[in-house]
Amino acid sequence: MCSVYVDGVRVTKFEKSGSDLKSLLVEAGRKALATSKYPEPQAIFIGAMNPEEFTGSGNIATLTADALGLLGIPSIRVETASSSGAAVFSVAYTAVASGIFKNVLVIAGEKMTHLPIAKATRILAEVIEIQEREAGASMPALAAMITQAYMRRHKISHEGMEKVLSTIATKNHFNGSLNPLAQFQKRITLEDYKKSKFVAEPLRLYDCSPITDGAAALILTREKTDIRVVGIGQGTDTLGLRQRDSLTSFMATRIAAKQAYEMAGIGPKDINFAEVHDAFTSFEIINSEDLGFFEEGMGWEAVEDGVTHIDGQFPINPSGGLKSRGHPVGATGLAQVVESVWQMRGEVDPKRQVGKVDRALTHSIGGLGNNNFVIILEKNNDNIKPAQRKSFYTLPIQIPRSADRDDAGIDGKEGILETFTVLHVPPEGFPSPLILGFVQIDGKRRVLARAMFLGKYRLGERVKLERDGNSYFFRKVTFLEKVKYYLRQLVRSEKGFKKSPNSWLK
Ligand code: COA
């Protein structure tokens, strides 16, 4: 396998743009080629999540080759939902490393802001597993339920979590204010955060990445440059959250991280800074744990201690992240690499420069954490301190099980409300507000259901499931049902007593 290097890089301004997708891709591509010593690529690799539905146009690989004046050479599109920008980097890397191509142009982009929010939300939700989608789940809704589950698991109060999430939001908006290419260059205060509307409780407007237009591009080459690609990893997981063992970490990230660190021969401690997929503020915490930067359940403390701030010991998202730089879904994974290259070359505004960078890591999530990438770049410089080669990635990895989890016999059952959210910006076709919750049955199976009635619900309370067509609904159990439940438990424990009376004495 040949070594692969990054040459010219470029990102368009992320914003509500007047340009169409083709123009954004071409702008990024042309500018990257203009800054490269290799302006005649042998192939084009394009990442985009869903131009067909967002813009009504397909076949963008050919369209872009033509618009760039590069007809004749191979041009191919790559898609893995919201990690498409990282996926196209990975595929292009393989093509160059294999020796087939010497120099290739990699471009990724998305055009989203021309659509009404409910329609954009519905298109984004198409990557969600069908049962969860039919219940009304959107990306913010699932992220909100993951946040609740994280709070419950690590015993964090609502006030405590609000403080941590608002710190991430203000940090990333501050970083974005220093980035002229970010969608939001507006700093926000704790007050602004607290006043902002709930999107999916407990997540507010300032916890969510926005809808954005934009594109990124770079040249990958076998010719030696100052930046070498030293690690790439990719992991997959079940589409549905209901089919996963854990709601508080992403196994696909752990798999990708392990591969990338092993390929680079380094561990998390050898990385100087990271651009991670903060589509929702709580994801920044979970990602920083899955990537091995902080211990499980400690990522939120690192935020509070200022470790991840731009001038902290381990800066995260100096670009402003998805939160503030913006999230044109297909472009993001590649834009993270461009930011890393700029930081490593010392080409960002000194106010945003995280210091001397020998190694940077980027992390991109596809779908709701089910097709994730980790990329590690290293300064190709003989003077850099050699990697420690001690601190390999040590987090446990459980290979995801098959998605076929039986939901037979769930209808009419009682279960525990494991996590829930009140969704205020639902996908097209669903009412607002919409209460959605994961109900756990028999201590193992999980289903996403809609609350039958609006009202107050508690995490961990018993609810009853009812099926209507393909969707499940939940409601509080009645007083009579509660009595029946406790009587059943009593009878069970009586039987247990009769079977093995000694067990009570132990
Ligand atoms: N963060 C900060 N400000 C935002 C914002 C965000 N995420 N989204 C919109 N705004 C700003 C707008 O610029 C606007 O400001 P203005 O009044 O000064 O122009 C204001 O907030 C209201 O914007 P509006 O368009 O009414 O917001 P919305 O309710 O339509 O959309 C969200 C807000 C959060 C629902 C939407 O951005 C969203 O769905 N985000 C998630 C996208 C997603 O799931 N991506 C995939 C993840 S992998």
**H or E element that contains 480:** helix 479-499
Residue 203 CA, ligand 1 centroid: distance in Å: 12
pLDDT tens for the chain, 506 residues: list them.
Answer: 899 999 999 999 999 999 999 999 999 999 999 999 999 999 999 999 999 999 999 999 999 999 999 999 999 999 999 999 999 999 999 999 999 999 999 999 999 999 999 999 999 999 999 999 999 999 999 999 999 999 999 999 999 999 999 999 999 999 999 999 999 999 999 999 999 999 999 999 999 999 999 999 999 999 999 999 999 999 999 999 999 989 999 999 999 999 999 999 999 999 999 999 999 999 999 999 999 999 999 999 999 999 999 999 999 999 999 999 999 999 999 999 999 999 999 999 999 999 999 999 999 999 999 999 999 999 987 666 655 555 578 888 988 776 666 677 888 999 999 999 999 999 989 999 999 999 999 887 899 999 999 999 999 999 999 998 888 999 999 888 778 878 888 887 776 545 443 333 22
The ligand 1 atom at the shortest distance from the C-alpha of residue 425 is: 35
Q: Enter the CATH code of domain 403-505.
A: 2.40.50.840
Fold of 4-113+208-379: Peroxisomal Thiolase; Chain A, domain 1 (3.40.47)
Distance 206 CA to ligand 1 centre (A): 8
Beta carbon of 199 within 6 Å of any ligand 1 atom: yes
- Nearest residue (by CA) to ligand 1, atom 21, is 205
Task: For residue 102, give the amino acid letter.
Answer: K
Burial of 62 (0-12, 13-18, 19+ CB in 10 A): middle
Q: 198 CB under 6 A from ligand 1? A: no
Residue 173 CA: nearest ligand 1 atom is: 2
Give me the pLDDT at residue 32, please: 98
Q: Where are the domains of the chain?
A: 4-113+208-379, 403-505
**Would the CB of 83 count as within 6 Å of ligand 1?**
no
Cβ atoms of 419 and 148 within 8 Å: the answer is yes
Would the pTM count as exceeding 0.85? yes
CA 205–ligand 1 middle distance (angstroms): 6
Name the residue with the closest Cα to ligand 1, atom 20.
205
Same fold, 4-113+208-379 and 403-505: no
**C-beta of 238 in contact with ligand 1 (< 6 A):** no
State whether the beta carbon of 449 lies less than 6 angstroms from ligand 1.
Answer: no
- The amino acid that residue 505 corresponds to is L
CA–centroid distance, 105 to ligand 1, in Å, is 32
CB 121 near ligand 1, within 6 Å:
yes
Give the ligand 1 atom nearest the CA of 208.
Answer: 7
The full DSSP string for 273-341 is EEE---SBHHHHHHHHHHTTSS-TTTHHHHHHTTTTSTTSSS-B-TT-HHHHH---TTTHHHHHHHHHH
Q: Which of 15, 17, 83, 117 to mutate to test the pocket of ligand 1 (most atoms within 8 A of CB)?
A: 117
Closest C-alpha to ligand 1, atom 12? 210
At residue 159, the 3 state secondary structure works out as: helix
CB of 139 sitting under 6 A from ligand 1? yes
200 lines ligand 1 (CB under 6 A): no
Query: How far apart are alpha carbons 190 and 192 in whole angstroms?
Result: 5
In ligand 1, the atom with minimum distance to the C-alpha of 139 is: 44
What pLDDT is recorded for position 500?
Answer: 43
